[in-house]
């Protein structure tokens, strides 16, 4: 939460329903952690680690991709700020991000791919999502998210960082990563899928 003029709203996240259980038991006071003007990157990274590396909560893959996407957006904003670029200046490549955040190459690459997968998952044109069980534990839908990751994403998504600038062919509607997440028939007719966009 961000404070403005010493005032801010407080939102309680009750992910494990402990607060709800306490209220049902008649408890009138709740112990909560309040982060005032927090480092969003640190909170998202901690949350991601709790659900992956530490297995404290055990996030499903789609949640991990969403968090990774948020961290990717954070890295883009930090890169812009640290290099004196405007918020709308994306005239740099994924490789530039990896070079800038030294020692974080593996994480940056994962965040880039997470952002792409998250974009595909949340795209309203993606009709396949209606058939995917995101939690991986149910049997109401025929496909698990894990299956989609192991097939579609591993076969059809370029797994390395791009050398081309993020705004490459943006005005033509042909940014390389946007095309990778576009529905099959939505690419412009004149788009040559054999063109080298990887650097």
pLDDT score of 40: 77
User: 137 or 88: which carries more pLDDT confidence?
Assistant: 88
Q: Report whether 145 contacts 134 (CB < 8 A).
A: yes
Compute the half-sphere exposure of residue 123: CA atoms within 13 Å on the CB side of its CA.
Answer: 19
Residue 186: its pLDDT value, please?
46
Say what the pLDDT of residue 182 is: 55
Q: Which residues contact 103 (CB under 8 A, 6 or more apart)?
A: none
pLDDT of residue 30: 76
Give the per-residue pLDDT at 51. Answer: 63
Q: How far apart are CA 121 and CA 65, in angstroms?
A: 9
Q: 89-122, pLDDT tens digit by residue?
A: 999 999 999 999 988 899 999 999 999 888 888 8
What is the model's pLDDT at position 58? 58
| pLDDT tens readout for residues 145-193 | 888 888 888 888 888 888 999 888 888 877 777 766 555 444 444 444 4
Q: Is the pLDDT of residue 81 over 90?
A: yes
SS3 letters for the chain?
CCCECCECCCCCCCCCCHHHHHHHCCCCCCCCCCCCCCCHHHHHHHHHHHHCCCCCCCCCHHHHHHHHHHHHHHHHHHHHHHCCCCCCCCCCEHHHHHHHCCCCHHHHHHHHHHHHHHHHHHCCCCHHHHHEECCCCCCCCCEEHHHHHHHHHHHHCCCCCCCCECCCCCCCCCCHHHHHCCCCCCCCCCCCCCCCCCC
pLDDT score of 198: 42
Q: pLDDT tens, 35-51?
A: 777 777 787 777 777 66
More confident residue, 15 or 198: 15
Kindly report whether the global pTM for this prediction surpasses the value 0.75.
no
């Amino acid at each position: 939460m961000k404070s403005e003029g010493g005032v801010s709203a407080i939102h309680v996240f009750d992910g494990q329903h402990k607060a709800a259980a306490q209220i049902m038991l008649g408890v009138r006071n709740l112990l909560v952690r309040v982060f005032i003007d927090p480092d969003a990157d640190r909170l998202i990274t901690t949350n991601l680690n709790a659900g992956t590396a530490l297995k404290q909560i055990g996030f499903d893959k789609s949640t991990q991709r969403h968090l990774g996407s948020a961290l990717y957006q954070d890295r883009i904003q930090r890169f812009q700020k640290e290099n004196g670029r405007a918020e709308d200046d994306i005239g740099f490549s994924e490789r530039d991000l990896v070079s800038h955040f030294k020692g974080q190459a593996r994480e940056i690459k994962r965040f880039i791919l997470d952002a792409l997968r998250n974009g595909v998952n949340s795209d309203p044109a993606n009709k396949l999502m209606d058939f995917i069980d995101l939690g991986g534990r149910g049997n109401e839908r025929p496909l698990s998210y894990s299956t989609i990751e192991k097939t579609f994403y591993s076969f059809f998504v370029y797994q390395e960082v791009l050398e081309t600038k993020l705004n490459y062919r943006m005005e033509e509607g042909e940014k390389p990563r946007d095309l990778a997440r576009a529905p099959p028939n939505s690419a412009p007719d004149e788009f040559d899928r054999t063109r080298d966009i990887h650097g």
